[in-house]
Structure 1
Amino acid sequence: MITITVPAVWSPERRTGYEVAGSGLLYDVVRRFVEENPVFRRRLIGADGAPLKYVNLFVDDELIMRHLRETTEVAPGSTVTIISPMAGG
C-alpha cells in the first residue's frame, strides 16, 4: 500500500490520509488515487487527463521536481504527500 496525504481543506470530511494499492510511477499512483477518490479530480487532473504539474508532490518527504515525476517510482510502503501550490506577492 501507498499512503496518500492531502490537505484537509480538500476533503469534505477534512480527511488527510488515504491508501492506494500497489506501486508504480508517481503519475500512475496519482491517477489511481483519483479513480478511487473522484472528489480530488479537479485538484489533481487537468482537462486533458494528465496530472496537473503545478501541484507539489513529495515521495517520502522528498520534493519530486516536475521533470522527474513521469519517471519516479513509488514503492509499496511509501508516502505521497500532495501540497497545494502557494501564491503570493
Structure 2
Amino acid sequence: MVTIVLSSAWAQGGQTRFEVGEGLLNEVLKEFAVSQPAYRHRLLDGDGEPLGYFNVYLGDEFVPRGHRADAPVRPGTTVTIVPPLAGG
C-alpha cells in the first residue's frame, strides 16, 4: 500500500493520512480522489485528470508537474500533497 498525506488545511474531519494502491503517480492521485470524493474537486479537473497547482512529494523528493505522469509510486511510499499557499 501507499500512504497519502494531506495538509491539515485540506483535512476533512481531521483525517490527513489515507491508504491507496501503488502505480504511476497520476493514477495514484486519481485513485485517491475516487476513493475520497470530498477531495476530487481539489485534485482532479473536469476530465478527471490531476490538477497541477498543488505540489507533490514522493518521500522527501519533490515531483515536478511535468514528471507526475510517469513517476512510479512503489509500495511503502508516502505521497505528500501540499496545497498552494498565499502570503501577504
Tell me the TM-score normalised to structure 1 length: 0.92
Gaps (5+ residues) in structure 1?
Answer: none
Aligned partner of 2:66 in structure 1 is 67
Cα deviation per residue 1:31-81 (whole Å; 9 max; x = unaligned)?
001111101001100112110011101001111001111110000000000
1:12 correspondence with 2:12: yes
Structure 1 consecutive aligned stretches of length 4 or more whose deviation exceeds 4 Å: none
What is the distance in 1 between the residues matched to 2:57 and 2:12? 23
Aligned residues between the structures: 88
> What amino acid is aligned across from residue 10 of structure 1 in structure 2?
W
> What amino acid is aligned across from residue 40 of structure 1 in structure 2?
Y
Aligned partner of 1:48 in structure 2 is 47
> What amino acid is aligned across from residue 40 of structure 2 in structure 1?
R
Aligned partner of 1:25 in structure 2 is 24
Q: Structure 1 residues 6-15 or 24-33, which shifts more?
A: 6-15
Gaps (5+ residues) in structure 2?
Answer: none
The percentage of counterpart residues that share the same residue type is 42
> What amino acid is aligned across from residue 51 of structure 1 in structure 2?
P
CA drift of 1:8 comes to 1.8
RMSD over equivalenced CA pairs, Å: 1.1
